[in-house]
Homo-oligomer: A and B are copies of this chain.
Amino acid sequence: MERAYGFDEVAIVPGRSTVDPEDVDIKSSIGDISLELPFLASAMDGVVNPEFAVSMGKLGGLAVLNLEGVSTRYENPAEVLQEIISVPKEEVTPLLQEIYKEPIKDELVAETIKKMKKGGGSACVSCTPLRAKRLGPISRDAGADIFCLQATVITKKHHSHEQTPLELERFVEEMEIPVIMGNCVTYEVAMDLMEAGASGVLVGVGPGAACTTRGVLGIGVPQVTATMNCASARDDYYKKTGRHVSIITDGGMTVGADICKALASGADMVMLGNTFAKAKEAPGRGYHWGMALPHPYLPRGTRIRVGIMGGLQEILLGPAKTDDGTQNLAGAIRLSMASCGAYNIREFHEKSTLIVAPEIKKEGKIYQRAQSLGMGK
């Protein structure tokens, strides 16, 4: 059995040369759409609604809206969210099972996308493969810029006796806009998705320890190993075709250090749910729930209270008011890359070295005299 590694088990070795963090460029792209910041917000109802997507776009990131969430099922999703947030914890699961039975309306899909585009940024929407044949074309026609095809586990070769599975290649062709696909964790599947035409590949099945998928199904690969697997497929695919596909590590990151490690492992960008659920702009107003929770047979996840930590700008660009690695995520990435001598994310992939260095919790903490690396002051 091969050993796989998660964020808590590795550290980035500082480089032989260093650069000024002010000179570090953290731009990224999906297909021909470029982003100032390598951050995507997860397609969850507590995280992304059209207004959040507009705010995110203005700051340089990208929010993904879930087309199977409340925005496309209800005329007034704010009311429904209020209800979800208000009920006692023990009533959440049946309430969500009920709420998500409401059919998705084509006209709401189109309307939602239009609202997302009002801020001038890109509109990125997501659905599961089962509904893609219906919702994909509607989204494209409504002006979506990027489409995201997402399931717990996706493969090019899904078999079913009852339903005709989605043919990924044909779907990409018909969509015309860039398609992100996921989630996957192995070289083979990442390669299959790239060959099927994906512009971005989401990495992450059962990341982190608390993940419901790993606890219920036993399925999962820790994110450092999963990202390395898929990044390796990206590099080989690029050598073969000259086309760069973005690797997006999705899930399992709680602090800036985790994000830095995802990028050092080969990710081009990261997708965050929990972090953005804590933003003042998030529709969940301090609450958060997984999209597998309303599952009729095997609900997974629950509504959790994450609290409101600050504005999106503070989280992304700082200045940080706390020292726990949850604010000024862009600054943390820049400083981490600078200490490895990397001017951009691709150089970071090449120049950074990871070591296996498990975190050991100690009661008597030592605070380091971490002095400035030439960054301001």
Residues on A facing B (Cβ under 8 Å): 1-20, 22-23, 42-44, 66, 93, 100, 128-130, 150-163, 165, 184-186, 188-189, 192, 204-222, 225, 251-261, 264, 273-274, 288-302, 304, 318-325, 328, 331-332, 335-336, 339-341, 354-357, 359-362, 364-377
Given A155-B16, A357-B4, also A214-B257 (CB < 8 A): yes
Task: Choose one: B128, B220, B318, B368; the contact of A372 (CB below 8 Å).
Answer: B128
Give me 30 A-to-B residue pairs in the complex whose CB atoms sit less than 8 angstroms apart, sorted by A's number.
A4-B11, A4-B356, A14-B221, A17-B158, A18-B155, A19-B158, A20-B159, A20-B160, A23-B160, A23-B162, A153-B339, A204-B368, A209-B359, A209-B361, A213-B370, A214-B359, A216-B323, A218-B261, A219-B257, A219-B336, A253-B366, A254-B364, A292-B372, A294-B377, A295-B372, A297-B318, A297-B319, A297-B320, A300-B323, A301-B370
Specify which chain B residues have a CB less than 8 angstroms from the CB of A216 in the assembled complex. Answer: 255-257, 323-325, 332, 335
Sample of 17 further A-B pairs with CB below 8 A, known A212-B325, A297-B320, A298-B328: A11-B219, A12-B217, A16-B157, A17-B158, A18-B159, A208-B362, A211-B368, A211-B370, A214-B257, A290-B367, A291-B370, A295-B372, A297-B328, A297-B331, A298-B375, A299-B321, A300-B323
Give chain B residues whose Cβ lies under 8 Å from the Cβ of A370.
152, 211-213, 290-292, 300-301
Report which of B185, B341, B361, B371 forms a contact with A13, defined as CB distance below 8 A. Answer: B185
Interface residues of A: mostly helix, strand, loop or mixed? loop
Query: Among A184, A252, A256, A360, which residue has the most Cβ atoms of chain B within 10 A?
Result: A360
A9, A22, A212, A302 interface centre (most CB from chain B within 10 Å): A212
| Docked complex Cα distance between A288 and B255 (Å) | 24
Whether A355 pairs with B260 at a CB distance below 8 angstroms is no
In the assembled complex, the Cα of A7 lies from the Cα of B292 at a distance in Å of: 24
A372:B222 contact, CB within 8 angstroms:
no
State which of B43, B161, B331 has its C-beta within 8 Å of the C-beta of A20. B161
Check B321–A298 contact: CB distance below 8 A: no
- Chain B positions within 8 Å of A293 at CB level: 323
Q: B273 contacts A298, CB within 8 Å?
A: no
Q: Which residues from B are CB-within-8-Å of A214?
A: 11, 257, 359
Which chain B positions have C-beta within 8 A of A373?
151-153
From the candidates B150, B210, B356, B371, name the one contacting A362 in the complex (CB within 8 A): B210
Q: What's the number of copies of this chain in the assembled complex?
A: 4
Contact B16 A192 (CB under 8 A): yes
Q: How far is the CA of A257 from the CA of B209 in the complex (A)?
A: 12
In the complex, how many angstroms separate the beta carbon of A102 from the nearest chain B beta carbon?
12
CB-nearest residue of chain B to A254: B364
- The answer, among B292, B296, B325, B368, for a CB contact under 8 Å with A371, is B292
Q: CB distance A220 to B357 under 8 Å? A: yes
CB-based contact A209/B360 at 8 Å? yes
- Output the least CB separation between A46 and chain B (Å): 10
